[in-house]
A and B are shown apart, each in its own frame.
Chain A
Amino acid sequence: MTIPGVQALAGPDQLLLFLAALVGVLLLMSLGIAVFTVVIHMLNEARVKRWRQMESEWERPLLDVIDGDAPPSSIHALVSPRNARFFVGFVLQFDRLLGTEEHQILRDLARPYLPTLLPDVRRGSPERRARAVQTLARFGLPEYSGTVVQALDDPSLFVAMIAARGLFQREYPEHFAAVLSRLDRFTTWSRGYLVRMLAAGGGSAVPLLRDLMTDGDREAGLRAAAADALRELNDLQAVERAADVLDGGLQPELAIACLRLLGHAGHGGHAALVRRYAEAHEPTVRAAALAALGTVGNDTDAALLREHVHDSSPWVALAATRALFNLAGPPGLGGLSGAGSRARTLAEQVLAEAGWA
């Protein structure tokens, strides 16, 4: 007698044999994986021990070199060729912790070993390529700039972004155009990330960023990122160009970025333009316009701002309350103490933010 459901599928003996074999295979496989895991565990332990040992051997001499108490050759003598990559990684860790002054010393320490990374840029997984590109960008510019620029066209977006980040630094303005021309690859990336990356270019990047902001052929999100970067760089001259852009009627994200720029460094002459956006259908645009009015507006805008303290969007209401405070100080919020509970809370919140509560 057998289980009929099983019997229906195959002959009893063959099936039993098959199941027994399957159990055997699975158990053997389990045993194999268990042994393999134990070996991996022991190898991991050995590797960690070896790394710790090397780190402890290098740490003191490295600090001596940084302090100027020993020449770079003193540590180079301790690095065997097979540990070159690990040494570069070790130096990179210090580079993240220390300042600009020490960066030059660390660069010099890592430089002799950088050629070992070159093959990684062209082959291997995207992760390996990214690691090599990041290290070359950190320690190998301008010598390896050609390699890093090539990585901007890497099939992996991740590698390309690492290259872009490495090149868009205030020290290397000659590479800005190359990065900006490929920026369309990164439209899916976080806007905030792009803005900070562009702002890292510093003053030398400003003319190119202005061009990007006003270039009607480029994607609106990228133009907005350029506008936000210009605001972070405190570029006063970009304000007029932002006003021109804003005058043309725009997609919300670009309008918001331009309004922010005007709110940051605009003047009374921009108030009329900003007011046009204060009644926009999109709450985020409305909020940006009202926030800007807090800087470029005048007493006549107070009524408009008060009206928007009761806006259906809480974000607009908060922006209007903050703008009222910016425009008229604490007395500007005086009338709100008796208003509805949300307006009152907003007024108290804005006062607390400004340290008045």
Chain B
Amino acid sequence: MIHQLLLPVLVGYNVVVICYFVALNSVYLLTAILAFRALRRHARRLKSVELEHMMGGVGGLPVTVLAPAYNEEATCVESTRSLLSLRHPSYEIIVVNDGSTDGTLARLSSEFELEAAPRAPMADIPTSQVRDVFRSRRHPNLWVVDKANGGKADALNAGLNYCVTPLFCAVDADSLLEPDALTKISRPFLEDEATAAVGGVIRIVNGCKVEAGRVTRVGLPRSSLARLQVLEYLRAFLWGRVGWDALGATLIVSGAFGMFRRSVVVEVGGYATDTVGEDMELVVRLHRRLRETGRRYRVVLVPDSVAWTECPESLRSLGRQRDRWQRGLVESLVRHRRMLLNPRYGRIGMLAYAYFFLLEMCGPLIEGVGYLTFTTWLLLGAASIPFVVAFLAVSFAFGIALSIATVGMEEMVFPRYPRLRDLLILFWLAVAENIGYRQIITYWRVRGMVSKLRGVTGWGVMERKGFDVSNG
């Protein structure tokens, strides 16, 4: 009886899962091919003209780096040092202490000899109260804005209010930018005045050696969980985002490292403070407003402009992070749902938004329920074991092929891992991640959707280990 009742439901759902699987992997394949072409072209371009020569001789574009910090005592000094050592002709740093309850401000103050300095805000985006503005005696281009706690978006808005350069670069307080990262990421602004936002690439710093705020030796972390994230980030950035960028449909600029035209962001009201996905929400809103007003603009990605960031090494932290990312995704996409498959928004609405809405947002739910229906089907004894195995094998083999191709692309275009051993580990991880890791990520993403439905807000706690700082 139960068997007969469940049969049509399971049949229908199987078709949904297969369609989802085919659609998702087709998009992955398409973006991978596009990413491969785009990365090769970008690498050729890098080899062709020395960017610093091209820009340095005529003066780079002035930039303000905005680094919000909340309880970043462990990493704030190293991160700020890294920002101070960037090679860019003209830049200013504004660290925004977002009401930290630990020693963040005290550490910054003693390390960089901060003193109160008058500075008037140049925009009036509403934020929590700014208590004081400090300037470093040792580094005149380093400013610290101390404000009451209001969250990351609020801190970015406070920094934005004090920004006076045409461009600003938003980074996480624990991000380490490569010395030429600002110069590289600002190149699209140089080549086209219509550029509104540019994303960089995020790589994982766990396992790397850091000296004086710079990554001096790239290596894989010891923790398996962190290693799996290395592969995940490579995949997400090198073919996910690069592929979408090749389609002219960049919908995400990471909050850990992205550059924006200040006037455009101020014009749209700055970062939204009522979402945990403020980075994606801002870019979606920029697309929406600029399309609605009929302005020519560009949002692009620069794949060789790199920021290094610490990733969670415990399941609990990682779970919280993914829960938050999924909530942020849902919030951004639901808020701007009128863009979904709306021709008015061009390829953003018809392609990128549709992909993120249908496959990235709803995907974990489809996938999660798929695992359940497969299990039910097996328990009912109605499934053909060879078919189930074959279907799962195709799914895994496809994932393995794409992950290995990503490592290959990395080695061809921007080789970073000097040891062959690291490459071999990454190949092994491409296989291993299919057993357990992908499923648990799906679970956290489903949990994120449930958290959103339950009205959960906030960021949760992120434990910082601090960087592997060499004594040498």
Binding site for B on A (CB under 8 A): 1-6, 8-9, 12, 15-16, 19-20, 22-23, 26-27, 29-30, 33-34, 36-38, 40-42, 44, 92-93, 96, 125-128, 130-131, 134, 157-158, 161-162, 165, 188-193, 196-197, 200, 314-315, 317-318, 342, 345-346, 348-349, 351-352, 357
Contacts of B13 in A (CB 8 A): 5
B383 contacts A1, CB within 8 Å? yes
With A5-B13, A6-B387, A27-B400: A130-B48 Cβ-Cβ less than 8 Å: yes
A318 contacts B14, CB within 8 Å? no
B54 contacts A37, CB within 8 Å? no
A1 contacts B384, CB within 8 Å? yes
Identify whether the interface residues of A are mostly helix, strand, loop, or mixed.
helix
Asked if B425 is at the interface (CB within 8 A of a chain A CB), the reply is no
Asked if B190 is at the interface (CB within 8 A of a chain A CB), the reply is yes
Q: State the CA gap A134–B383 with chains docked (Å).
A: 65
Partner of B49 from A37, A127, A200, A349 at Cβ < 8 Å: A127
A37 contacts B44, CB within 8 Å? no
Contacts of B10 in A (CB 8 A): 4-5
Contacts of B58 in A (CB 8 A): 165, 193, 196-197, 200
**Residue of chain A at shortest CB distance from B123:** A314
List 7 A–B pairs whose Cβ atoms lie within 8 Å, in order of A's numbering. Answer: A2-B387, A127-B44, A127-B45, A188-B191, A188-B193, A314-B123, A345-B119
A30 contacts B384, CB within 8 Å? no
Partner of A349 from B15, B50, B118, B400 at Cβ < 8 Å: B118
**Residue of chain B at shortest CB distance from A190:** B190
Asked if B222 is at the interface (CB within 8 A of a chain A CB), the reply is no
Least Cβ–Cβ distance between B238 and chain A, in angstroms: 13
Contacts of A40 in B (CB 8 A): 408, 411-412
With A26-B398, A196-B59: A3-B383 Cβ-Cβ less than 8 Å: yes
Identify whether the interface residues of B are mostly helix, strand, loop, or mixed.
helix
B121 contacts A314, CB within 8 Å? yes
Asked if B61 is at the interface (CB within 8 A of a chain A CB), the reply is yes
**Residue of chain A at shortest CB distance from B391:** A19
Least Cβ–Cβ distance between A55 and chain B, in angstroms: 16
A37 contacts B391, CB within 8 Å? no
Binding site for A on B (CB under 8 A): 7, 10-15, 17-18, 41, 44-45, 47-50, 52-55, 57-59, 61, 117-124, 189-194, 377, 381-384, 386-388, 390-391, 393-394, 397-398, 400-401, 404-405, 407-408, 411-412, 415, 420, 423-424, 427, 430
B189 contacts A190, CB within 8 Å? yes
A38 contacts B193, CB within 8 Å? no
With A5-B15, A162-B49, A188-B194: A27-B120 Cβ-Cβ less than 8 Å: no
With A5-B12, A6-B18, A6-B387: A38-B423 Cβ-Cβ less than 8 Å: yes
B54 contacts A33, CB within 8 Å? no
Contacts of B404 in A (CB 8 A): 30, 33-34, 37
A191 contacts B193, CB within 8 Å? yes
Q: State the CA gap A42–B415 with chains docked (Å).
A: 11
With A1-B382, A19-B390, A26-B394: A131-B49 Cβ-Cβ less than 8 Å: yes
Tell me how many residue pairs across A and B have CB atoms closer than 8 Å.
Answer: 182
Q: State the CA gap A61–B273 with chains docked (Å).
A: 61
A162 contacts B54, CB within 8 Å? yes
**Residue of chain A at shortest CB distance from B42:** A127
Q: State the CA gap A262–B196 with chains docked (Å).
A: 31
B401 contacts A41, CB within 8 Å? no
Least Cβ–Cβ distance between A191 and chain B, in angstroms: 7
Least Cβ–Cβ distance between B382 and chain A, in angstroms: 6
Q: State the CA gap A146–B388 with chains docked (Å).
A: 68
With A134-B49, A200-B58: A19-B123 Cβ-Cβ less than 8 Å: no
**Residue of chain A at shortest CB distance from B11:** A4
Least Cβ–Cβ distance between B4 and chain A, in angstroms: 12
Least Cβ–Cβ distance between A210 and chain B, in angstroms: 21
Least Cβ–Cβ distance between B7 and chain A, in angstroms: 7
**Residue of chain B at shortest CB distance from A344:** B118
Least Cβ–Cβ distance between B106 and chain A, in angstroms: 24
B408 contacts A357, CB within 8 Å? no
Q: State the CA gap A35–B55 with chains docked (Å).
A: 39
Contacts of A314 in B (CB 8 A): 120-124
Least Cβ–Cβ distance between A180 and chain B, in angstroms: 16
Least Cβ–Cβ distance between A48 and chain B, in angstroms: 9
Q: State the CA gap A165–B50 with chains docked (Å).
A: 13
With A4-B10, A5-B15, A19-B393: A318-B193 Cβ-Cβ less than 8 Å: no
Least Cβ–Cβ distance between A217 and chain B, in angstroms: 21
Partner of A127 from B12, B41, B123, B415 at Cβ < 8 Å: B41
**Residue of chain B at shortest CB distance from A157:** B191
Q: State the CA gap A29–B102 with chains docked (Å).
A: 51
Q: State the CA gap A125–B42 with chains docked (Å).
A: 11
B50 contacts A96, CB within 8 Å? yes
A22 contacts B394, CB within 8 Å? yes
**Residue of chain A at shortest CB distance from B400:** A30
With A188-B192, A190-B190: A357-B118 Cβ-Cβ less than 8 Å: yes
Q: State the CA gap A282–B205 with chains docked (Å).
A: 46
A318 contacts B122, CB within 8 Å? yes
Contacts of B61 in A (CB 8 A): 190, 192-193
**Residue of chain A at shortest CB distance from B166:** A192
Partner of B387 from A3, A345, A349 at Cβ < 8 Å: A3
Least Cβ–Cβ distance between B10 and chain A, in angstroms: 7
Q: State the CA gap A348–B120 with chains docked (Å).
A: 9
Least Cβ–Cβ distance between B291 and chain A, in angstroms: 19
A96 contacts B117, CB within 8 Å? no
Contacts of A190 in B (CB 8 A): 61, 189-193
Q: State the CA gap A342–B120 with chains docked (Å).
A: 7
B190 contacts A345, CB within 8 Å? no
Partner of A2 from B121, B384, B398, B400 at Cβ < 8 Å: B384
A131 contacts B394, CB within 8 Å? no
Contacts of A351 in B (CB 8 A): 118
